[in-house]
Amino acid sequence: MATKNIDPNNLSPEEDWIGNNAAFKCLLCGNTFIVSGMLHRNGRKCTNCGKSTGYCKGGKNSGGSATIEW
């Protein structure tokens, strides 16, 4: 399984991160989906293909992490 960590200081046009919410672009199907650190504590699968999973733990400005696995 491959992993990509989101850099809060270098977001791509397909990414966003505010507080403990992050938007990811699925690297398999191209769908953009949102992951809430509060609502999706165990990650959230791509809402289109279900083959990647996004995780958001902690806040962007408080040392948190946002990661997508596929």
Nearest to 21 by CA among 11, 70, 51, 1: 11
pLDDT tops 90 at residue 12? yes
Cα torsion 55, 58, 59, 60: sign: negative
Contact between 3 and 66 under an 8 Å Cβ cutoff? The reply is: no
| Sheet-wide strand order for 21-25 | 16-18, 21-25, 32-36
pLDDT tops 90 at residue 10? yes
At residue 62, the 3 state secondary structure works out as helix
Contact between 23 and 16 under an 8 Å Cβ cutoff? The reply is: yes
At residue 48, the pLDDT reads: 98
Q: What is the pLDDT of residues 31-54, one digit of tens each?
A: 999 999 999 999 999 999 999 999
> What's the pTM value of the predicted model, to 2 decimals?
0.92
pLDDT tops 90 at residue 25? yes
At residue 1, the pLDDT reads: 87
